[in-house]
Amino acid sequence: LIAHHLAGNGAMASIALPATTLHHHLQHHPDLTIAAHNGPTTTVIAGPTPSLETLLTHLEQQGTRVRRIPVDYASHTPEVETIHTQLHTALAPITPRNSPITFHSTVTATPLDGTHLTPDYWYRNLRNPVLFHPTAHTLITHHHTTFIEPSPHPVLVASLQDTADAAEADIVAVGSLRRGQGGRTDLLRSAAHAWARGVPVDWAAQYPGGRRIALPTYPFQRTRYWIDAPSDSAVRSGDGGDEEFWEAVEAADTDAVASVLGLREDRPDWLGQAMPSLARRRELRRASGRLDALRYTVEWTPAAGIRGGAPTGRWLVVTPDGDHDADWAR
């Protein structure tokens, strides 16, 4: 329904300002709407593209960070009312029922019985603002401390952490997958990040037949035996840490590249044409770094100060059955 009836009629953007501050700006743009309250200082605005671009340009000139969301429709705005009947008809066969897991709704910002998830609820879910921030705040202040965002790429993890910081609460907020990293190994890595911060993970289900190894009962001696391999600076993220820029290049997101570079109204026409060349350069640098790692070998060097001598004291030698007369055991 969105693709057939709403696409091409609007735009959305995430703005690093609280909703209370944005209300002042929206007085000059009555056709724009707050679409989502994502965090204490993160708000999503939606509406007609020309009006939204005018507001974003003004905010960027003031130094406010904005991110254009790559969609061509304006959900959570009055535009959704045009598909009210079609949406109700499409969802009519669904029968809601209760769930043993407590459901916290971002439509009402309260716990909600599953039987209330009617077609009208899902219409309001698409029409009304997303109350993610007040919902997350309620959960955090009621001592919920673990939050997992199951998505192709983390979008709300940062907002969750901002909400917890504002409430002076300690939480664990992790994603599941990342853009370009959508395999089983990536999902397990995210689970490991959560586990390392105290979240229980059923590793036995993932590694049947494995066993846990007991750690030493004494403090680690911290004696280092690793080889000091040369660092591969060519494959470090962002060719210098500018990961946001290179992620935008690889995604061919011209708007994001322009935003990172600080290009607004004076954006050059050739920027879009340069994107493939920039992406190719990025990949060549990575490939060159991987080849460099194969050209060099790290060798052991003799350790100085090793004293020889016969072992002293009493020793217990355990040998295989029937091997006690071997020369090496004497």
pLDDT digits 0-9 by tens, 205-234: 988 988 888 887 888 777 777 776 555 554
Residue 21 pLDDT: 94
Domain(s) of CATH 3.40.366.10: residues in the chain: 1-142
**What pLDDT was estimated at residue 229?**
59
pLDDT (0 to 100) of residue 318 = 77
The pLDDT of residue 326:
65
Is 184 exposed, middle or buried (CB count within 10 Å of its CB: 0-12, 13-18, 19+)? exposed
Question: Which residue ranges of the chain lie beneath pLDDT 70?
Answer: 228-241, 264-269, 293, 295-309, 322-330
CA-to-CA distance for 102 and 118, rounded, in angstroms?
Answer: 17
Q: What pLDDT does residue 241 have?
A: 45
- pLDDT at residue 330, as a whole number: 60
- Alpha carbons 172 and 197: distance in angstroms, whole number: 7
State pTM to two decimals.
Answer: 0.65
Q: What pLDDT score does 329 carry? A: 61
Instruction: Report CA 258 to chain centroid distance, whole Å.
Output: 22
CATH fold of the domain at 1-142: Malonyl-Coenzyme A Acyl Carrier Protein; domain 2 (3.40.366)
Residue 246 confidence (pLDDT): 79
Looking at every residue in the chain, the average pLDDT score rounds to 86
Burial 194-206 (b: 16+ CB within 10 A, else e): beeeebeeeeeee
**Side-chain-side CA neighbours of residue 161 (13 Å):** 10
What are the strands, taking DSSP E only, across 71-169? 146-149
